[in-house]
């Protein structure tokens, strides 16, 4: 264990307490709040009638029972999303009333078999429901816009939908406990002019933003890249892998981002060995819990301001 005090870093419940309940359900968010999450995170995609709902992808066969519903079989489709061909059922092809008839399922039944007993219990929540829950329980909300360039290409303006929904909930003032995150650049730049809410540029370990061909996430992590991000965002949300295995090196990376004027949030800490950095795995079962607390303490040591986790109940 590191001999350093655990500094205050916000606990961001990644899709809710998704290590213990099917992700993106009110049950997952409620449990996360009980467990002490500071923020709850919904990924957002729109319905056919323009309502944002909490799902990680617009293709929903992995997290709902839609593939078992004969009345929707004919809506199976193949689409190209951010340059990748995807086959399944897409939120933008269903009205909210239709989506509300579905029930959520555990995304990782083989890794998290203990969660399968919750399959079929919970509907897909709207963003408004998740935001209202956060407001009622006095925690923050950390929405992510998924694939805004794709949705713009089919005539759906998801940044506008998000800002309108936040306004509707009274979560649009500078002091609201809200971070808006996106992997794309254009929507963040546009929202900078429209809202005082905090904006977060997500940075993956590889590739680049879907809306800026040729731009690489690796370049965003250079000093010049970080300074550029700071012109339109308040924080970076970076893949933990970008910090590497050496805590001193990781601390230097975090310090460079902070020197550019950015807060640093990292994703995603999960308790199962398969998802933990190698140094924190325990035993040979990839699905058994590893040293989550040790990994959390390292995030503290390196100075990050927030950590996305599937397991807020495990935070030391
Ligand atoms: O939003 C931070 C992190 O959640 C990004 O990855 O794929 O889990 O949305 P993803
Ligand atoms: Ca996310």
At residue 237's C-alpha, the angle toward residues 127 and 251, to 5°, is 150
Distance CA 74, CA 114 (A): 32
14 carries an active-site annotation? yes
Nearest atom within ligand 1 for CA of residue 181:
1
Structure tokens that stand for 218 in this block: 């690796």
Structure tokens that stand for 300 in this block: 């503290």
Which residue has the least CA distance to atom 5 on ligand 1? 267
Give the mutation target among 55, 267, 309 for probing the ligand 1 site: most ligand atoms within 8 A of CB.
267
**For the chain, what percentages of helix, strand and coil (3-state, to nearest 5) are there?**
35, 20, 45
Is 260 within 8 Å of 230 (Cβ atoms)?
Answer: yes
At residue 119's C-alpha, the angle toward residues 58 and 316, to 5°, is 85
At 8 the pLDDT is 76
Tally Cβ neighbours within 10 Å of residue 50.
Answer: 15
Alpha helices (runs of H) in the chain, residue ranges in sequence order: 26-34, 96-99, 127-137, 148-153, 158-168, 186-192, 217-220, 223-229, 247-259, 292-301
Distance CA 33, CA 42 (A): 13
CA distances from 255 to 8, 26, 222, 250, 302 (A): 16, 36, 12, 9, 8
Which residue has the least CA distance to atom 7 on ligand 1? 56
At 5 the pLDDT is 45
Distance CA 113, CA 110 (A): 6
Ligand number with the minimum distance to the CA of 265: 1
Is 226 within 8 Å of 236 (Cβ atoms)?
Answer: yes
pTM assigned to the model: 0.96
At 4 the pLDDT is 46
At residue 38's C-alpha, the angle toward residues 315 and 248, to 5°, is 55
At 61 the pLDDT is 98
For each of the chain's 316 residues, which pLDDT tens digit applies?
Answer: 444 444 579 999 999 999 999 999 999 999 999 999 999 999 999 999 999 999 999 999 999 999 999 999 999 999 999 999 999 999 999 999 999 999 999 999 999 999 999 999 999 999 999 999 999 999 999 999 999 999 999 999 999 999 999 999 999 999 999 999 999 999 999 999 999 999 999 999 999 999 999 999 999 999 999 999 999 999 999 999 999 999 999 999 999 999 999 999 999 999 999 999 999 999 999 999 999 999 999 999 999 999 999 999 999 9
Candidates 182, 164, 169; CA nearest to 129 is 169
Ligand 1 center from residue 15 Cα (angstroms): 9
Distance CA 73, CA 164 (A): 33
DSSP class of 237: E
Is 49 within 8 Å of 132 (Cβ atoms)?
Answer: no
Which residue has the least CA distance to atom 1 on ligand 1? 144
Evaluate the CA torsion angle 163, 167, 169, 171 in order and state its sign. positive
Q: How far apart are the first and last CA of the chain?
A: 12
Structure tokens that stand for 155 in this block: 């005539």
Distance CA 303, CA 253 (A): 10
Q: Which residues sit with Cβ closer than 5 angstroms to ligand 2, an ion?
A: 43, 144
| Residue ranges with strand state E in the chain | 10-14, 39-41, 43-46, 52-54, 77-81, 84-88, 140-141, 144-145, 179-182, 198-203, 235-239, 263-269, 306-309
At 108 the pLDDT is 98
At residue 51's C-alpha, the angle toward residues 50 and 54, to 5°, is 135
């Amino acid at each position: 264990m590191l001999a350093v005090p655990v500094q205050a870093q916000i606990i961001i419940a990644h899709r809710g307490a998704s290590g213990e309940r099917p992700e993106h359900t009110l049950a997952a968010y409620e449990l996360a709040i009980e467990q002490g999450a500071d923020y709850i995170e919904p990924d957002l995609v729109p319905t056919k009638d323009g309502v944002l709902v909490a799902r990680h992808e617009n293709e929903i066969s992995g997290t709902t029972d839609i593939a078992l519903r004969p009345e929707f079989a004919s809506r199976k489709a193949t689409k190209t999303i951010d340059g990748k061909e995807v086959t399944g059922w897409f939120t933008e092809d269903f009205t909210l009333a239709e989506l509300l008839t579905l029930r959520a399922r555990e995304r990782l039944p083989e890794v998290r078999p203990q969660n399968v007993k919750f399959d079929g219990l919970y509907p897909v929540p709207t963003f408004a429901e998740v935001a209202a829950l956060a407001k009622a329980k006095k925690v923050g909300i950390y929405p992510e816009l998924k694939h805004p360039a794709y949705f713009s290409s089919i005539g759906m303006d998801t940044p506008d939908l998000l800002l309108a929904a936040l306004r509707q909930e009274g979560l649009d003032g500078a002091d609201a406990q809200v971070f808006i995150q996106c992997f794309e650049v254009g929507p963040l730049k546009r929202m900078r002019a429209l809202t005082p809410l905090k904006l977060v540029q997500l940075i993956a370990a590889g590739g680049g933003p879907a809306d800026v061909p040729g731009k690489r996430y690796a370049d965003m992590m250079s000093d010049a890249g970080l300074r550029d991000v700071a012109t339109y965002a308040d924080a970076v949300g970076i893949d933990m892998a970008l910090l590497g295995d050496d805590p001193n090196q990781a601390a230097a990376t975090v310090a460079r981002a902070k020197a550019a004027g950015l807060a640093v949030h990292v994703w995603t800490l999960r308790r199962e060995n398969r998802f933990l950095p190698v140094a924190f795995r325990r035993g040979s079962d990839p699905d058994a819990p590893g040293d989550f607390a040790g990994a959390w303490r390292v995030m503290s040591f390196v100075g990050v301001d927030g950590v996305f986790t599937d397991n807020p109940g495990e935070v030391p």
